[in-house]
Amino acid sequence: MNAWAWDDIARVAGGSWHTPPRDEVIPFVGVSIDTRSLVSGQVFFAFDGEQVDGHEYLAAARDGGAGACVVTHGERVPDDIGIPVLVVGDALDALTRLAEVWRVRIRAKVIGITGSNGKTTTCRLMHGICSAAGKTYASPKSFNNALGVPITVLNTPIDAAYLVAEVGMSTPGEIAARTRTLRPDVSIITSIGRAHLEGLGSIENIAIEKAQLIATAPAAAVGVIPHGIGSLDAALDGDPHRIERLGDGFRVEQIDQGGCAFSVDGALFRVPIPGEHNAHNAGLCVLAARALGIEDGVIRAGLAQAKPPTMRFERVEIETDSDPIVVINDAYNANPDSMRAALATFVGLQAPGRKIAVLGEMLEMGKTGPGEHRSLAEYAAGFDGLDRVILLGASFGSVLADVPIDDARVEVIPDRSDGAIAALASSILPGDTVLIKGSRGVRLERLVANLGDIHASGRSNGKENAQTPA
């Protein structure tokens, strides 16, 4: 039963009623912080943010079917609101407290996923597997922070069999805090890499932070990690949890543009995304699913139906007047390790025309940034299978200005403005296959939009010219 007593909600949230409810209980269907995606019956939380103030949308939430509103400024509630309104001192604290209680009430087995690379992809793969085994809810997009994790928990149906949740961090202490809310039955750590070095300082500190998803989980929880990561093994040394490692029993059998075949302990599986790193992520999901008691046949069916997230090695075909341009859109985010994995996979793909790698600068690298950008440029230039390497952004420009890469295929474009992206798009020709990857702030997906506009215009003009009498 998803009924939740109003008085219990107020007590847990630490609030008082501005507009009291008329009934004793609410048929609880989750929470929302955005009226554009609000589902009828959800509780709307009005966050007082730097750019958007949710209190301005209370009437819109009511009109959209909100079952109640939670606010921090009772004086800003419209007189005619007409639905229950709870006033709290701290909206995030109230949201988190409610999520911790709801986590205990739901029946779902919870799978928490973190890692320097591959969190969202692994989340989608695990969602596919669990969906083949029973009713499943998963983090929408990358809801992995202090706000996103409690929202994910609170939007999990009470009768769901599985909850798959992504857990992220940028500073110490965040993983442990999210783990207290999630109380995962299985924790997956996909990788330890050079992401968020600005906030954590070293690989060892990143491993210690990521390890908290296992170390602070309930005693009966199972941890799933890659084999042979020394920093992670050190961080988990002496941990009492059962830990499964993906290592000697894992093999990549075949990679093509449609995905990868791999084996775990002799059992064959296939994941519908190319790249050895994605086969590795799927292998971790196999171990996690087995720990939950899911059979291999169900795992195979779930992987086959898994939907990869957008802008994670997503294949986009742009029609032209002749051969299409194929873009491998991996532009959601980047760090040194994910950049190298994407390049290695891209070079291994079969493509009829030129292969072009467009690499955007990596943000949040701290003092390691200059060295990492130089190292990545040299790594990319070392591939014989690339016809052009375009390094975009000031971070590349500054480290390569004095000592450029001695390779005619390597181009540095320090400017990543809309104009620079448009000029770059005009240099890409029909038949080219293009990898785009960079940090989220670079927004390299603009290149896809520019290519689409250029060639849609060209096809349109071509048709008009063909219909014009000589």
For 143-157, what is each residue's pLDDT tens digit? 999 999 999 999 999
Cα 10-12-15 angle, rounded to 5 deg = 40
Q: At what angle do helices 276-291 and 119-133 cross, to 10 degrees?
A: 40
Q: Where are the beta strands (DSSP E) in 353-419?
A: 355-360, 388-392, 410-413
pLDDT confidence tier of residue 165, bands split at 50, 70 and 90: very high
For 330-377, what is each residue's pLDDT tens digit? 999 999 999 999 999 999 998 889 999 999 999 988 888 999 999 999
For 237-247, what is each residue's pLDDT tens digit? 999 999 999 99
Q: What is the rounded CA–CA span in Å between residue 370 and residue 119?
A: 26
For 403-462, what is each residue's pLDDT tens digit? 999 999 999 999 999 999 999 999 999 999 999 999 999 999 999 999 999 998 665 554
Asked whether 30 and 43 are in contact (CB, 8 A), the reply is yes
pLDDT confidence tier of residue 252, bands split at 50, 70 and 90: very high
Domains and CATH numbers, the chain: 3-91 (3.40.1390.10), 106-305 (3.40.1190.10), 314-461 (3.90.190.20)
pLDDT of residue 219: 97
Q: In what helix (H) or strand (E) does residue 302 lie, and over which residues does it extend? A: helix 296-305
Q: The pTM is what?
A: 0.85
For 203-238, what is each residue's pLDDT tens digit? 899 999 999 999 999 999 999 999 999 999 999 999
